[in-house]
Structure 1
Amino acid sequence: MTGYTLSGGSAANAVFVTILFAYVLQTELTQYVQSKLQFRQPYLLFYIAHSAFTIVLPAHLIYLKFSTGISPSTYLSTLWTIMQTQILDPQSAPSSKFSWTRYIIFVALLTTGITCPALMWYASVSLASLSDITALFNTHAFWAYILSTALLPPPPDRPRWQPYKLMAVLLACVGVFVTVYGSADEASAGSNPFLGSLLALISAVSYALYQVAYKKWAVPSVSITSAYDDEDDEAAPLAGDTGELAGQALPFGLFANFVTSTAGLATLAVLWIPMAFSNLFGKGGYQLPGDMWTGICVGLIALSGLVFNAGFMILLSLWGPIVASVGNLLTIVLVMLADVIISRDLSVITLWSFIGSGLIIIGFAILVWEYTILH
């Protein structure tokens, strides 16, 4: 990699911008569907949105098939080999038997790590104000710093606790609270503000833990190597005689999408069971949207959630949990602008919102500078 840029180059930057807008769309639509359309079924919304993750890998493989001519089976063979030799059993040879027991445990932990924070977030949206939920959930950047510093090895010749990162994370988190709570107008408190806020905070901590664990145990070195290759060589088009990509780096984001689809498939296959049992014993009341407009909105929630989570997994593997999390705090600014557009009320933008937005941007800029110049 040349120049002072974050890993992944322009492709990663494009993913970053895309997930910011996807997060805002998902947040606003979820609030609208549950509060305005009265479709208050957070578990069902979660199930639909996370089951949609399944289509990420097939869509990526179809794109690669038409752009490179390499069959999906070749990429899948390489992905399974990487999963075995770099994630499940790094000491094993490529020809060794696949560790299905370890893979099932990996999928279970992965799905749990994605499921718990997301489910608590979906539940909290209908209980507390959107401002409270946004502010508390985005403290995951602070928790990501604490946990990654404690659990991930520091860069060579660098101290474990780095003041630039701490200052950047604190500035960004302070900016979140200043932006959200600096307005004189109070938002709707929600039906149970304390419980909603508590769920959002627990969601933030567990989400940060998931990010750090993913970076530590679920990112193979080959997916990082691919971030430094020529961006125009997107597909690594040469395949070996073994049916795998011989010595080539994987296409951008492919392994992350493989993991995301794995979690989506596990969600689709297993997490319908609680709804079925609940309906069977007469306590659930889970049902699909009763009108087309609600169904369209739920579909857009699933699509925006798919884009956000798939993109964030890619950035997590490239940038690490601290930079990715603080960068995601820029959604605060976009949520504020979206509220202005939807409500047509410019009073949402205040001096405090400008100050808070500036602190968030400065915090992210410090991290980018620290990442690109000091590393």
Structure 2
Amino acid sequence: MTSTPASEGDIGRIHRDRSVGPSPGCSLHQRRSSAQEEFRRAASLSTSSEHRVEFDDNRHAFRTSLSGDDQTDDEMALARPSISRQAESRSNVPLLKDERRGRQQNVPFVGGADSRAVSNASRRSSFRSKTPDYDSERATRRKYVIASFFLVLSLISFTVQTQTAVFIQQELGWDKPYCMLYMTHGSWVCLWPVQLLILRIQKRHLPWAAFWRRHVYLLRTTAQMVESQDLHLTSRESHKSPIPYIIRTTAIVTTALTVAGGSWYVAVNLTTGSDLTAIYNCSAFFAYAFSIPLLNDKLRFDKVFSVGVAIIGVIIVAYGGGHPDGIPPSETEAEKASNRTLGNLIIGAGSVLYGLYEVLYKRLACPPEGTSPGRGVIFANTFASLIGIFTLLVLWIPLPILHVFGWETFEWPQGEARWLLFISTISNATFSGSFLVLISLTSPVLSSVAALLTIFLVALVDWKWNNKELSGASITGGILIIIAFLLLSWSTYREMDEERRRRLEEEGSDAETDD
């Protein structure tokens, strides 16, 4: 029996229906065309599957890690297929054959079980090419370095904000507490645009479309991680919109923050400044108290001791200074003291709410442990901008009410007060964004105690630039606060290291089970 040469229609049918080369009867030109077609198809499938690997198991788990570094995110932005795909796209087809990431393009297709075994072995060895313990320890150190930078930034910005706010109210006479609260919290909306500009400068080598797609993808997946409190999203979680959860969380956290901040402005006219400072800064204790049931923190002696030392330092600063030059309390202060009980109750409630606000933010709006520090910083500033948007859109309502009843007449600041208020609001936005980043990277307790350092720092600034006496009580209390912060920092670092080791052991046992 003689074989007839294949026609052009037969060759086209073979190219469409089979993934192997052409029949031996084809010409050299046809063989070359077929090889080029197979090469293009392999490259297309490899690119489209870069970040869309689907495992066909009973749970349909999307186990791609979402805690990678910026380099991985950049590769994702360039390789990820467009949202609007053509109908003939094969990106949703599970790739269970011999294609794998990182293979040489000039290696021909080899089918069968042997090739799959080689592919699986290569993939497993690539995942285990690095030492997990070293990488995790390095990530913990990097997290603390970034947190230290934002700690310094928050201390400087809070000092500037405090000095300008006091000068505006006491020296320039623009005493509008709720309006100032509304403006300062509303200024947080600027954090996300500024952050986006900085990120764009850093990633200027990327096209704008790829940069924007990367940024949106990072925010969306981080929000999904926040809602699920898991680094590894299932297919159902990865397709669920996080917007409703983020809106609810923003409303809850902003309400707690506004009530806590507003209580300070209400109590400032009812109690003494010493009581106001001492009671309000006890929020560090309440932050730790709420962390135990809400964040499952352990009751550790070193943490309790550190928080106690910090509060003692605040009390010494507040009550140990006395009255300079032996001047007795003024009549105005005596009138404030007559309402002291009511004022202390109000500021006490504000202290509790501020500690609750810090813990709620950590519980409801921070990604889980193991998330890369860069991702945590980006999401923290984005959430702070959402708080600013909620403040501007909702919390303007009390302004006309206060104006109508004469409790706080609304008027714009004039002259020097205007540009000082601008500096104060920008400083507050910087402090708040840095403070939220600090909570996200460490813990509410450490962040709250770190904020107490501003008490001693403000006293130093008053002594240096405002010619106010630096009393022995201020120095003693400040030293105690610094010691408490250092002790708590070491305790928190040890706790994070223990958590890191425990997580590595769990991941190691899971890997052995999978093998």
The TM tier, using the shorter chain, reads 0.7 to 0.9
Q: Which position in structure 1 is the counterpart of 2:215? A: 75
Deviation at 1:99, TM superposition (A): 5.2
Which residue type is aligned with residue 164 of structure 2?
L
Identity of aligned residues (%): 31
1:63 & 1:263 partners in 2: Cα distance?
A: 20
Higher alpha-carbon deviation: 88-97 or 98-107? 88-97
1:225 & 1:287 partners in 2: Cα distance?
A: 45
Q: Which position in structure 1 is the counterpart of 2:193? A: 58
Higher alpha-carbon deviation: 166-175 or 110-119? 110-119
Q: Which position in structure 2 is the counterpart of 1:142? A: 285
Q: 2:475 aligns with which of 329, 349, 354?
A: 354
How far does the alpha carbon of each residue in 1:70-103 deviate from its partner, in whole angstroms, 9 at most, with x for none?
5345312321333245327977735534255433
1:283 & 1:183 partners in 2: Cα distance?
A: 33
SS at match of 2:443: helix
Deviation at 1:167, TM superposition (A): 0.6
2:450 & 2:143 partners in 1: Cα distance?
A: 15
Q: Which position in structure 2 is the counterpart of 1:225? A: 371
SS at match of 2:417: helix
Deviation at 1:368, TM superposition (A): 1.6
Q: Which position in structure 1 is the counterpart of 2:61? A: none
Q: Which position in structure 2 is the counterpart of 1:115? A: 258
Q: State whether structure 2 residue 161 is matched by structure 1 residue 26.
A: yes
Q: 1:178 aligns with which of 316, 324, 331?
A: 316
Over 3 Å counting, the alpha-carbon distance change for 1:132 and 1:225 in structure 2 is: same
Q: Which position in structure 2 is the counterpart of 1:241? A: none
How far does the alpha carbon of each residue in 1:275-333 deviate from its partner, in whole angstroms, 9 at most, with x for none?
134446776521111x2211112112211111111111001011111111112111121
Would the aligned equivalents of 1:89 and 1:99 in 2 still touch at CA under 8 Å? no
2:142 & 2:346 partners in 1: Cα distance?
A: 33
SS at match of 1:298: helix
1:366 & 1:215 partners in 2: Cα distance?
A: 21
Would the aligned equivalents of 1:49 and 1:305 in 2 still touch at CA under 8 Å? yes
Would the aligned equivalents of 1:44 and 1:286 in 2 still touch at CA under 8 Å? yes
Would the aligned equivalents of 1:127 and 1:192 in 2 still touch at CA under 8 Å? yes
Over 3 Å counting, the alpha-carbon distance change for 1:101 and 1:345 in structure 2 is: closer
Note the aligned Cα RMSD (angstroms). 2.7
Q: State whether structure 2 residue 301 is matched by structure 1 residue 163.
A: yes
2:292 & 2:200 partners in 1: Cα distance?
A: 40
Map 1:224-243 onto structure 2 (within 5 A).
224-227=370-373
Which residue type is aligned with residue 378 of structure 2?
L
2:405 & 2:350 partners in 1: Cα distance?
A: 29
How far does the alpha carbon of each residue in 1:309-365 deviate from its partner, in whole angstroms, 9 at most, with x for none?
11110010111111111121111211211221243133x321x22322221111111
SS at match of 1:179: helix
Provide structure 2 residue ranges, at least 5 long, that are not aligned to the other structure: 1-135, 499-515
Q: 2:358 aligns with which of 181, 200, 211?
A: 211
Over 3 Å counting, the alpha-carbon distance change for 1:37 and 1:311 in structure 2 is: same
Provide structure 1 residue ranges, at least 5 long, that are not aligned to the other structure: 155-159, 228-233, 235-249
Over 3 Å counting, the alpha-carbon distance change for 1:135 and 1:284 in structure 2 is: closer
Over 3 Å counting, the alpha-carbon distance change for 1:368 and 1:101 in structure 2 is: closer
Which residue type is aligned with residue 298 of structure 1?
L
Deviation at 1:370, TM superposition (A): 1.6
1:255 & 1:104 partners in 2: Cα distance?
A: 14
Higher alpha-carbon deviation: 94-103 or 263-272? 94-103
Q: 2:382 aligns with which of 232, 236, 258?
A: 258
Q: State whether structure 2 residue 175 is matched by structure 1 residue 40.
A: yes
1:43 & 1:214 partners in 2: Cα distance?
A: 23
Would the aligned equivalents of 1:336 and 1:349 in 2 still touch at CA under 8 Å? no
Higher alpha-carbon deviation: 143-152 or 272-281? 272-281
Q: Which position in structure 1 is the counterpart of 2:336? A: 192
Would the aligned equivalents of 1:124 and 1:196 in 2 still touch at CA under 8 Å? yes
Which residue type is aligned with residue 170 of structure 2?
S
Higher alpha-carbon deviation: 280-289 or 318-327? 280-289
Q: 1:286 aligns with which of 410, 413, 417?
A: 410
Over 3 Å counting, the alpha-carbon distance change for 1:111 and 1:97 in structure 2 is: same
How far does the alpha carbon of each residue in 1:126-179 deviate from its partner, in whole angstroms, 9 at most, with x for none?
55554443322211111111121232223xxxxx21111101100111011112
Would the aligned equivalents of 1:6 and 1:372 in 2 still touch at CA under 8 Å? no
Deviation at 1:36, TM superposition (A): 2.3
Over 3 Å counting, the alpha-carbon distance change for 1:364 and 1:161 in structure 2 is: same
Relative contact order higher in (CA < 8 Å, ≥ 6 apart): 1
1:219 & 1:83 partners in 2: Cα distance?
A: 9
SS at match of 1:31: helix
2:238 & 2:188 partners in 1: Cα distance?
A: 30
How far does the alpha carbon of each residue in 1:91-131 deviate from its partner, in whole angstroms, 9 at most, with x for none?
77355342554333222112112211122223444555544
Higher alpha-carbon deviation: 50-59 or 24-33? 24-33
1:5 & 1:357 partners in 2: Cα distance?
A: 29
Which residue type is aligned with residue 336 of structure 2?
N
SS at match of 1:161: coil
Would the aligned equivalents of 1:126 and 1:190 in 2 still touch at CA under 8 Å? no
Would the aligned equivalents of 2:188 and 2:385 in 1 still touch at CA under 8 Å? yes
Deviation at 1:52, TM superposition (A): 0.5
Over 3 Å counting, the alpha-carbon distance change for 1:6 and 1:81 in structure 2 is: closer
